Chains A and B, each alone.
Chain A
Amino acid sequence: DTEVTQTPKHLVMGMTNKKSLKCEQHMGHRAMYWYKQKAKKPPELMFVYSYEKLSINESVPSRFSPECPNSSLLNLHLHALQPEDSALYLCASSTGLADYEQYFGPGTRLTVT
C-alpha cells in the first residue's frame, strides 16, 4: 500500500480565517513533506519532518505552521493567508530522508479569497 491521504480535497478560505490541512500515511514512513505547487510550476518544498521532528523549513512565512503529532500524521495550519497563497498543497512521505522515493497524496486545492 503506497497511499497517502489528504483532507480536505478543496478548501476556500478568507484572509482572516484559520484552517488546517491534514495528511496521513500508514506505510511506516518516517519522513513526511509539505509542498506547494502553483499552476504549470514544479512542486516547491515547504517543510520536511523526519521522525516527527522538523528537519527542513524552506523559509516559509509564519502564516503556515506545520505540525507532526505522530509518525503517521502531518498537519499544516493556515492563518491570515494571502490570495497569492492559493495553490495545490501536496503532502508526501518516504521511508527516510536519504535516497528514498517520495509518494505524494492527492493534494488539497486551496483558494484564498
Chain B
Amino acid sequence: QKEVEQNSGPLSVPEGAIASLNCTYSDRVSQSFFWYRQYSGKSPELIMSIYSNGDKEDGRFTAQLNKASQYVSLLIRDSQPSDSATYLCAVKGGGFKTIFGAGTRLFVKA
C-alpha cells in the first residue's frame, strides 16, 4: 500500500513566523511531489511542485525534497493569518495515480 504521511496538526504559529510542514512517502519510485492549500469548504489550490532533490522557492514558499529519505517539506516564511488552511502533500509515483496525504491544519495567530 503506497502511503503519504503528514502530521494532522493543528500546527499553530504566530504571525510573521516560519511554518514548517512535513510529509513522508513510502513509494521509492515516486518522481513528482506537490503541495496544495485547501481552505475550509473550498477545493485544493496548487502551491508548489518539486521534482528533484533540493530546495525550490516561490515567494514566501519553499519546498524541500530529499528522495533518499523519502521526505518532502514546505516552509512558509512570514506567515500570515490568511495562510491558515489545510496543506495537502501529494505524491505521484510510478503509476498515474496521485496519492494525497491526510493534510496538516495550520493556524497562524495574529
Within 8 Å by CB of A101, from B49, B88, B101, B102, lies B49
C-alpha spacing A99/B92, complex, angstroms? 7
Instruction: Evaluate contact between B43 and A99: CB separation under 8 angstroms.
Output: no
Question: A97 an interface residue at 8 Å Cβ cutoff?
Answer: yes
What 6 pairs between A and B have smallest CB-CB spacing?
A42-B100, A99-B32, A104-B43, A97-B96, A107-B43, A104-B44
Within 8 Å by CB of B96, from A41, A42, A55, lies A55
Instruction: Evaluate contact between A43 and B49: CB separation under 8 angstroms.
Output: no
**Chain A minimum-CB-distance residue to B33:** A99
Q: Which residues of B line the A interface, CB within 8 A?
A: 31-32, 34, 36, 42-46, 49, 51, 88, 90, 92, 96-98, 100-103
Instruction: Evaluate contact between A42 and B46: CB separation under 8 angstroms.
Output: no
C-alpha spacing A103/B46, complex, angstroms? 7
Main secondary structure on A side of the interface with B: loop
| Subset of 17 A-B contacts with CB under 8 Å | A41-B102, A42-B100, A42-B101, A42-B102, A50-B96, A55-B96, A58-B97, A90-B43, A97-B96, A98-B96, A101-B34, A101-B49, A102-B34, A103-B46, A104-B45, A105-B43, A106-B43
Instruction: Evaluate contact between A106 and B46: CB separation under 8 angstroms.
Output: no
Contact code string A41-57 (vs B, CB < 8 Å = 1, else 0): 11101001010000110
Within 8 Å by CB of B44, from A90, A97, A99, lies A90
